[in-house]
Structure 1
């Protein structure tokens, strides 16, 4: 049974980046750059998202010697993951917009 995903600000940041291109494959270092989070933060979140079946992972099919670098592991949102991520992020934004006393307006 898939694990439940707890949407923290870090998880939300990662999902928001992945949702910019929901069917695209993203590799870890690219996600680190795009989110501004550390690799030590990103990879455990990706593992939790995989266990929840929101993300799937595949290894790049290259010859590391010819490419001059190790093969990358690519992560992609599953159809269920993309739908669930949108739903959870929308709920988070709705909740944040109705916080009492925070309107975004300066008070005199």
Structure 2
């Protein structure tokens, strides 16, 4: 999955998965955990599934017996966990100011901290 596909929603989904990479989420649970809506969830999951980061599986139940539709569960693959960690590190590094940036770009020094 390319960094350009790491939308804020995708980052939140990845963070939710990485808390416990063995946990299987159903869509509503993942939306609540990641604090995103279905319009952001499903496209991001589709990209992650296409990239091999996530696999999905439908729950095998009788909906009449359970009184609800079957859930669709999502879990991260081992490759997904590794690649997601790398992608988050790369994303973090891409938003850091360059080491050669003048200090004034970072704002004033806190009180009592000498910049000389």
TM-score by length of 2: 0.78
CA drift at 1:12: 0.9
Tell me: CA distance 1:38–1:104, structure 2 relative to 1, closer, same or farther (3 Å): farther
Aligned length: 104
For 2:80 and 2:28, locate their aligned partners in 1 and report how far apart those are by CA, in whole Å.
Answer: 21
Matched, 1:35 2:34: yes
User: Could you say what secondary structure the match of 2:55 adopts?
Assistant: strand
User: Could you say what secondary structure the match of 2:52 adopts?
Assistant: coil
CA-atom RMSD in angstroms: 2.2
Segments ≥4 residues shifted beyond 4 Å? 103-107
Q: Structure with the greater relative contact order (CA < 8 A, sep ≥ 6): 1 or 2?
A: 1
Gaps of 5+ in 2: 112-116
Gaps of 5+ in 1: none
